[in-house]
């Protein structure tokens, strides 16, 4: 079975296949005369969306991706409080029961790291990790890298600034793993000391030969970057005092940013990028979210062995 559990499982060849297919799907969606062809690609297939943690973009983009391809979609949200988990059922039992209902794929978000791997170990159908606690978010990483490819015209040879909660963000961590896989980029890691990237991820970068630097100088990073990936402080991951968001990108920073550079954000955006930045053509985060549906369409085809 083709599970999607971690960003590290994707190599350059598979990434290229997925991106090429996502490009084709984007073109099909724009051409109304060809759009009708999408509906029959996965006709008769069924996808379960099982979300134990809140989600807007990931859950709905997967649902839209499946339905555009002709799939039946069965969805549950807030399963942490609306499923038999409340009664004490284990994740493993839940997944084995769902497998008996004969879906073709289960897309799961969970509040615990490594939950997707536990699910895959007992599932009778492919599992797609839609985010597991502070662990990973591989489909977000794929759409993020795809956005870099679309906006910059390349995935290598770039200075990429990443901030600000590097310690807790599963989206940032997963993207960093993918960037290390494709290679050829320099990472500028921007954060306060208490939110720096975990040492195991930095070790992974060194082993893959990806250069990086750590800084708490926002203006320095913005001037140097070709890509600016800016995320919120992950307040839901803290058990103690939450540090304030001190690295905020506002209109006063726009003159510092290269004309050809662009700003990304996994969303939701809270206070790390001011809304007054949105009208700048270099603000790519809404285009980034739109790219997610097409990458997930391509991933569903790959999961069901049609790519």
Spell out the domain ranges in the chain. 7-135+292-303, 138-289
Active-site pick, 13, 33, 87, 207: 87
Which one is predicted more confidently, 37 or 219?
Answer: 219
Catalytic-residue membership of 57: yes
Per-residue pLDDT of 117-157, as tens digits, reads 999 999 999 999 999 988 899 999 999 999 999 999 999 99
Query: Among residues of the chain, what percentage have pLDDT more than 90?
Result: 75
Listed in sequence order, the residues at least 6 apart from 85 whose beta carbon sits closer than 8 Å to its beta carbon are 52, 79, 91, 94
Fold of the CATH domain 138-289: Rossmann fold (3.40.50)
Report the DSSP beta bridge partners of residue 229.
162, 264
**Residue 217 annotated in active site:** no
Indicate if 137 belongs to the active site.
yes
**Catalytic option among 3, 109, 173, 181:** 109
The whole-model pTM stands at 0.92
The confidence score (pLDDT) of residue 233 equals 85
Is 3.40.50.1370 the CATH classification of the domain at 7-135+292-303? Answer: yes
Intrachain domains 7-135+292-303 and 138-289 with the same fold: yes
């Amino acid at each position: 079975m083709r599970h999607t559990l971690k960003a590290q499982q994707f190599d350059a060849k598979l990434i290229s296949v997925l991106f090429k297919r996502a490009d084709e799907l984007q073109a099909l969606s724009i051409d109304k005369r060809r759009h009708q062809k999408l509906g029959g690609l996965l006709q008769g297939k069924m996808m379960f969306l099982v979300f134990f943690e809140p989600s807007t973009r990931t859950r709905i983009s997967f649902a839209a991706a499946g339905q555009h391809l002709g799939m039946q979609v069965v969805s549950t949200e807030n399963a942490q409080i609306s499923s038999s988990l409340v009664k004490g059922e284990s994740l493993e039992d839940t997944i084995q029961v769902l497998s008996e209902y004969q879906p073709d794929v289960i897309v799961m978000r969970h509040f615990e790291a490594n939950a997707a791997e536990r699910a895959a170990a007992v599932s009778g159908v492919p599992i797609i990790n839609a985010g597991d606690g502070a662990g990973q978010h591989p489909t977000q990483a794929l759409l993020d890298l795809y956005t870099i490819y679309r906006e910059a015209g390349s995935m290598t040879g770039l200075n990429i600034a990443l901030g600000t909660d590097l310690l807790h963000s599963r989206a940032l961590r997963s993207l960093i793993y993918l960037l290390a896989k494709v290679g050829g980029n320099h990472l500028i890691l921007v954060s306060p000391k208490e939110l720096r990237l975990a040492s195991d991820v930095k070790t992974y970068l060194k082993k893959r030969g990806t250069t990086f630097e750590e800084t708490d100088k926002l203006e320095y990073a913005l001037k140097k970057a070709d890509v600016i990936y800016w995320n919120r402080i992950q307040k839901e991951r803290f058990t103690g005092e939450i540090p304030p968001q001190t690295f905020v990108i506002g209109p006063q920073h726009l003159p510092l940013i290269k004309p050809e550079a662009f700003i990304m954000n996994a969303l939701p955006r809270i206070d790390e990028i001011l809304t007054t930045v949105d009208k700048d053509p270099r603000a790519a985060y809404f285009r980034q979210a739109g790219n997610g549906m097409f990458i997930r369409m391509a991933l569903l085809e790959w999961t069901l062995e049609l790519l």
